[in-house]
Amino acid sequence: MTEPADRIDTDLPAHAPVRTLATFAQAPSTHPPRVLILYGSLREKSFSRYLSEECGRVLTAFGAEVRTYDPHGLPVFDRASFDLAKVRELRELSVWSEAQVWVSPEQHGAMTAAFKNQIDWLPLSDGAVRPTQGRTLAVLQVSGGSQSFNAVNQLRVLGRWMRMFTIPNQSSVPKAFQEFDAEGRMKPSSYRDRVVDVMEELFRFTLLLRDNAAILNTRYSEDKERRTLGALKPGLGVAAKE
């Protein structure tokens, strides 16, 4: 039976596999992968910051360009203070990044408010720009007691919501106070080896996906939005009336 003319989408061929394969065939970028690291503590002696710094050292050794955001001075998310310097800095770093590393302590079985606050300031869309969509993501946590995966599991859900490619591997460091020396360097251990594994996997996935993020995230419905509205609908964190 022939479909009624008003039910046939004449623009579907633009999303056909042939177009996707042609895009994949382009030459890969050669610049160092750009990685943004976020951590979730404001304490002076912060083990999530220590772990984030260890991740940064490993990624730099692999050849990545690494930037770490300092959450001190970032206000509590209020859907209004978008012009503050700390908010603009966070958004600009997210747009700059091709990959991100999220490190949170586990507090009461969950990620910390300091970490979630950073993500709340990142919109899903800002005009035609997606500050997080298509980035690769690695998730890690530190705990004061026995090993747990509550925070990393939450970070995975959050990464999916922010439309990121979260890599399979992850790291959870228990009794973090035992795993770092007086200078904040991670001691040799199986936990440190796991951190290296996670950063290595993130580095490789980023090389594989960064040039194809646009086509992998091209959505039929969003193309219709752009044609109709000239931009994407406001997403999370965009100043708008609720």
Q: Would residue 21 count as lying in a domain?
A: no
Q: Would residue 11 count as lying in a domain?
A: no
pLDDT above 50 for 67: yes
Kindly report the number of other CB atoms within 10 A of residue 42's CB atom. Answer: 15
> pLDDT class for 238, splitting at 50, 70, 90?
very low
**pLDDT given at position 113:** 97
Q: Would residue 186 count as lying in a domain?
A: yes
Kindly report the number of other CB atoms within 10 A of residue 2's CB atom. Answer: 5
CATH of the domain at 149: 3.40.50.360
Place of tokens 């710094």: 53
**pLDDT given at position 242:** 35
Total structural domains in the chain? 1
**pLDDT given at position 229:** 76
Q: Would residue 151 count as lying in a domain?
A: yes
Domain encompassing residue 48: 30-229
> pLDDT class for 232, splitting at 50, 70, 90?
low
Segment 209-225, tens digit of pLDDT: 999 888 787 777 777 77
Q: Would residue 108 count as lying in a domain?
A: yes
The CA-CA-CA angle for residues 21, 96, 124, to 5°, reads: 75
Cα–Cα distance measured from residue 27 to residue 211, given in angstroms and rounded to the nearest whole number = 9
DSSP 134-164: T-EEEEEEE-SSS---HHHHHHHHHHHHTT-
Segment 11-61, tens digit of pLDDT: 665 556 566 777 776 788 999 999 999 999 999 999 999 999 999 999 999
Cα–Cα distance measured from residue 54 to residue 49, given in angstroms and rounded to the nearest whole number = 9
**pLDDT given at position 102:** 98
**pLDDT given at position 221:** 75
Q: Would residue 210 count as lying in a domain?
A: yes
Segment 174-195, tens digit of pLDDT: 999 999 999 999 999 999 999 9
Q: Would residue 53 count as lying in a domain?
A: yes
pLDDT above 70 for 88: yes
Cα–Cα distance measured from residue 107 to residue 104, given in angstroms and rounded to the nearest whole number = 9
Q: Would residue 135 count as lying in a domain?
A: yes
pLDDT above 80 for 198: yes
